[in-house]
Amino acid sequence: MEHIKSALKKAGVLDENIESVAPARAPERRMPVKEFEATEQPEPFTLRQVEIDQKHLEKTRIVSKSMDDPNHIAFNLLRTRVRKAMSDNKWNSLAITSPTAGCGKTMVTLNLAFSLSRNPGLRTVVVDLDLKRPSVAPTLKVEPDRSIAQYLLGKAEAKDCFVQVDPNLVLGLNSGHTPASSELLQAPKMLELFEFIETKLQPEVILFDLPPMQSSDDALGFLPRVDTSLLVVAAGTTTTAEVDECELQISELDKLLGIVLNKCESAKSEEYYY
Ligand SMILES: Nc1ncnc2c1ncn2[C@@H]1O[C@H](COP(=O)(O)OP(=O)(O)O)[C@@H](O)[C@H]1O
Ligand SMILES: [Mg+2]
C-alpha cells in the first residue's frame, strides 16, 4: 500500500497526511446467508453460457482474460493483495467505486475478476450495480437477457440476469438507465439478490461495480452492505479534494480497503500503465 500512496503523492492526488488503508478490524461477515433446513434441497438451475470475443477485449482494455498482454501482471498483483486482505478478514464482498465517472471502475472490476477467477476453485461473481450507466455488458460485448434492475423491480428472475463467461466467473448484467437507482439499491429486494448469490451461485468473491460517489448517493447508500471497497482514481483527472472527500466518506463507514491509481502514465509502457 505504501507504493500506491507514494504513486498517489507523485501523481498529486494524495495529501501527505492521508492514510489510504483502513485499519485492520475484527473478522465479520455481513452478507445475509440463508441457512437451509435439513430437508431443504437447492433447486437445480443452469446459467446461460456466454463466449467472450477476445478481440473486443483488446479495445476495452480487459487484459486479464488471457495472459498475452503484460499489463495483466498489475491485476495479478492487485488480486493477490485483495485476496490476502479478504481471506485474513473472512470477507467475501468487495465494491469498486470512484469519485467521478470514467475513472476506470468497470475496467478494474473486470480485470480483477478475470484475474481472481483464473485461480482454480476461486468462484467469482461480478454484479453491475451502476444502474444509471451500466457498462459491464458493453465492455465485454455481451447482450443481457434480463437485467439486475428488472430483477430489483420485480420484473425478472435472478437466474436470468446472470451469465457464465468462464468456469469460475459469473456476471450479473444490467442495461439501460434506471432513474430510481438509489432506492432500488437499498430496497429489501437487494437482500434477496444477496441471498440468491450466496446460496445458489456460492462464490468465494463477489465484486460490485458501483456508480461514482459524486454523481448520486447510490454508492454511499450501498457500501454498508459490503465487506470492503476499492476507490479507483484517475491520474490527471481526479483531484486531491475528490480523493480526500471520498476517502473520508468510505472510511467513516470503515469500508476502505485501498485506492487504485489508474491512468497513470509511465515510461515503462508505450501506451498506458496501470
Ligand atoms: N488505464 C487506462 N488507460 C487508458 N484508458 C483507460 C484506462 N482505464 C480505463 N480506460 C478507459 O476509460 C474509459 C472509462 O473506463 P470505465 O472502466 O468504463 O470507467 P468507469 O466504470 O469508472 O466509468 C473507458 O473507455 C476505458 O477503456
Ligand atoms: Mg463503469
Which residue has the least CA distance to atom 14 on ligand 1?
Answer: 102
Q: pLDDT tens for residues 53-83?
A: 999 999 999 999 998 999 999 999 999 999 9
Ligand 2 centroid, distance to 156 Cα (angstroms): 23
Distance from residue 228's CA to the centre of ligand 2 (Å): 18
**Does ligand 1 have an atom closer than 6 angstroms to the CB of 210?**
no
Ligand 1 pocket check for 109: Cβ under 6 Å: no
pLDDT tens readout for residues 125-153: 999 999 999 999 999 999 999 999 999 99
The answer to whether the CB of 146 is under 6 A from ligand 1 is no
- The closest alpha carbon to 142, from 247, 47, 70, 221, belongs to 47
Between CA 9 and CA 203 the distance in angstroms is: 36
State which residues have CB under 5 angstroms from ligand 2, the bound ion.
105-106, 135
Q: Tell me the mean pLDDT in the region 9-25.
A: 46
Q: Closest ligand 1 atom, CA of 273?
A: 1
| Grid cell listed for 148 | 439486475
Confidence of residue 260 (pLDDT cuts 50, 70, 90): very high
Q: For 167-212, what is each residue's pLDDT tens digit? A: 999 999 999 999 999 999 999 999 999 999 999 999 999 999 999 9
Query: What is the pLDDT, as a whole number, of residue 44?
Result: 75
CA of 99 relative to ligand 1 center, distance in Å: 14
CATH numeric code, 2-9+59-262: 3.40.50.300
Q: What is the mean pLDDT of residues 21-29?
A: 43
> Is the distance from the beta carbon of residue 272 to the nearest atom of ligand 1 less than 6 Å?
yes
Q: What is the distance between the alpha carbons of residues 146 and 129, in angstroms, rounded to a whole number?
A: 14
Q: Ligand 2 centre and the CA of 36: distance in Å?
A: 35
